[in-house]
Amino acid sequence: MVETVKYDPRSKFPPVDANSGKSVYNLLSGKYMKVWQGPQHPGITGNMSLELTVCGDEIIDCKTHVGYLHRGFEKLMERRRYIQCFPLVCRICVPEPDFNEYLFAEGTEELAGIEIPEKARWYRALTLEMARLASFLMWIGGQAAAFGMGTIGQWTVTMRDYVLDLFEELSGGRIYHMYIIPGGVRADLPAGFALRVEQTLAQIWKVLDDVELALMYNAVFKKRAMGLGVITPSIVDEYGITGPNARGSGVQRDIRKDNPYLVYDQLEFSIVTETGGDAYARTWVRLRETRQSIDLIRQMLEIMPTSGPFFQKLPNVLHWKIPGGQTYKKAECTRGEYGFFMVSDGTELPRRIYVRGPSYTHAVTLMEKLAVNVNIADTAGLMVSLHTYPPEIER
Amino acid sequence: MATERQERTIQEVKDSDPVCDGQAGLKFVHVGADQAVAYITRLRDVQGYTHLVFFTAIDYIEDSIFRLTYMVHNYASRQDLGVQVDIPRQGATMESIHHLWPHAATYQRELKEMFGIDFPGSPGVDDSFILEGWTGIPPMRREFDTKLYSEQTYFPRPGRVTHDTAAYMKEKLYPSEAETW
């Protein structure tokens, strides 16, 4: 192959090898330096590392390394009965485990031809929105802390703890709830639960007002987040970008609206978008979606059925043979499209369960692209603004 | 096997709505390995399936095949389409689609590592992705025995009481079920 662009030695970017397409740089030249960020770093929820090549304090090349959290969930599930897979799946995403439970349960029910009661559908949607709220509150803390505003993180993580209190009351677990089980949900709402939810929501709403003032109108945050990690609408499909990362670029897509599941078609809400495409726009999207989540929970508590069964009795789960077939179930989680592709061969064990996490594309291919030309001090802020959880990359 | 394996040519499927076992909003279609990339390119460029949702493989060891599944999505019609391609397990190789979606290279890198399916020309396909320094057989293949691997790799710490899992479950946890096992 012929090199078409002549390399200018004054450029801070190293020449690109025409055959491999990779940058060629001499680390001994004194011009470049390698810096490892991670696997423990506030810019990443979970363990993942970035191999950064810097010229001065600007990143000229980024390579992501995953595998620190590989526990082989997909392989483990091939050797387990469906009900034994159920307590495994929530561990794929720590801050927001309910989507795994929901999608696994939904996929199993579809393959087995089980209809769940109406009340269970509402309870599932309620749990998913509460999980979304908890996840966003944790994310706000991470985004603010990545730019040196740790206090905001303390406010929101406290609020997240109050949501976890509610989960503890509902399911017995703070982090892994194992509440949405195949057939419905595990328990009815405790007495007075709606009242306590409302009290917590009112508290969170007030804190969000403070967060908005302290973060979104903060000169330091605006200066650093504006123009950082710009995602243009043209690369949204090219890189498989979904969720707030796409909506921050003005792309109006939300699975809750486009392919409504559970009870979302009975709730009133609109798709939140911003047009900036940068970290600042994504922060606005997520802040507004946090408020939207509060609104959705309030709507659900008002109109959800209060009587009726919440669980459809299943066959003996120890000998539960799921009819052969395949399905793909998806839902809109805080980070984008979360999905379970399930294949059954008619036996008691699943043939294949594949977990599609939005971080798979956001944290690897997209991060490698967006990190180039970013100041090294903003790497953590950029990484948080993509909202990634490494466990769902390596499953 | 529940789903019938059928191969269609591009000509057969391109004008018709691909129909397979699926519910509303989700369909599966089977194509031959040599036509798959051309078909997917057409889906992306002509039929509006612009979003590659995921790309994975299913191991049917008893039939000596891998079933590759490319899940693509059309935002206009809100339709998911799973394009399924069967390739032989022996010397498994498939044409790369990284030129259509850059992030497909990551999926292909993982498939090479976990299933041993090669995608010649895909960027970084030979680099390790998750399992740095792995020398055994690709672990997502059905013949890889996780239990045997853990028995050979890890050893019980002294001073701990261990139970045979199956026997313990029969006797202690589900005594009423024991006779049915």
Residue A354: band (very low, low, confident or very high) from pLDDT cuts 50, 70, 90: very high
Tens of pLDDT, residues A178-198:
899 998 899 999 999 999 999
Residue A314 confidence (pLDDT): 85
CB–CB contact B78 A259 (8 Å): yes
Residue B22 confidence (pLDDT): 41
Residue A6 confidence (pLDDT): 61
Residue A151, SS3 per DSSP: helix
- A124 is a domain residue: yes
- A15 is a domain residue: no
Q: How many domains does chain A have?
A: 1
- A295 is a domain residue: yes
Q: Which residues on chain B are in Cβ contact (under 8 Å) with A237?
A: 50-51
CB–CB contact B174 A110 (8 Å): no
3-state helix, strand, coil in chain A (%, to 5): 45, 15, 40
Residue A21 confidence (pLDDT): 62
* B172 to A122, B164, B165: CA distances (angstroms): 36, 12, 10
- A38 is a domain residue: no
Tens of pLDDT, residues A25-50:
778 878 788 888 878 765 666 788 88
Residue B67 confidence (pLDDT): 93
* Phi/psi of residue A329, nearest 5 degrees: -110, 140
Average model confidence (pLDDT) across chain A: 88
CB–CB contact B80 A352 (8 Å): no
Q: What percent of chain A has pLDDT over 90?
A: 44
CB–CB contact B3 A324 (8 Å): yes
Which helix (H) or strand (E) is A324 found in, with range? none
**Residue whose structure tokens are 């984008």:** A336
Residue B20 confidence (pLDDT): 40
Are β-strands B26-31 and B79-88 bridged in parallel, bridged antiparallel, or unpaired?
parallel
Q: Least CB-CB distance to A394: which of B54, B130, B177?
A: B130
Tens of pLDDT, residues B83-125:
999 999 998 999 999 989 988 999 999 999 999 999 998 888 8
Tens of pLDDT, residues A209-232:
999 999 999 999 999 998 888 999
Q: Least CB-CB distance to B146: which of A79, A259, A354?
A: A79
Mean pLDDT of A132-156: 91
Tally Cβ neighbours within 10 Å of residue A84. Answer: 15
Instruction: Please tell me the number of Cα atoms within 13 Å of A245 on its side-chain side.
Output: 32
Query: Count of CB contacts below 8 A, A vs B?
Result: 104
Mean pLDDT of A325-331: 91
> Strands of A350-356's sheet, edge to edge?
A325-333, A336-344, A350-356
- A354 is a domain residue: yes
- A193/A200 Cα distance (integer angstroms): 11
CB–CB contact B123 A356 (8 Å): no
Q: Which residues on chain B are in Cβ contact (under 8 Å) with A76?
A: 146
Mean pLDDT of B27-39: 90
- B72/B55 Cα distance (integer angstroms): 9
From the CA of A204, how many Å to the nearest CA of chain B?
34
CA-based nearest residue to A21, from B124, B152, B161: B124
- B37/A268 Cα distance (integer angstroms): 41
* A80 to A348, B114, B177: CA distances (angstroms): 8, 19, 17
Domain harbouring A334, CATH code: 1.10.645.10
CB–CB contact A324 B1 (8 Å): yes
Whether residue B166 has pLDDT greater than 60: yes
Whether residue B14 has pLDDT greater than 50: no
Whether residue A338 has pLDDT greater than 90: yes
* B154 to A75, A115, B114: CA distances (angstroms): 18, 43, 21
**pTM of the predicted protein model:** 0.87
Q: Which domain holds residue A148?
A: 73-394
The interface predicted TM-score (ipTM) is 0.87
B139 dihedral zone (left: phi>0; alpha: psi -120 to 50; beta): alpha
Q: Which residue of B has its CA nearest to A338?
A: B53
Mean pLDDT of A109-119: 90
CB–CB contact B54 A356 (8 Å): yes
- A183 is a domain residue: yes
- A8 is a domain residue: no
Q: Which of residues 19-48 of A touch B (CB under 8 A)?
A: 21
- A53 is a domain residue: no
From the CA of B102, how many Å to the nearest CA of chain A?
6
Whether residue A15 has pLDDT greater than 60: yes
* B174 to A37, A181, A241, B171: CA distances (angstroms): 48, 20, 46, 7
Q: For chain B, list the domains and their CATH numbers.
A: 10-128 (3.30.460.80)
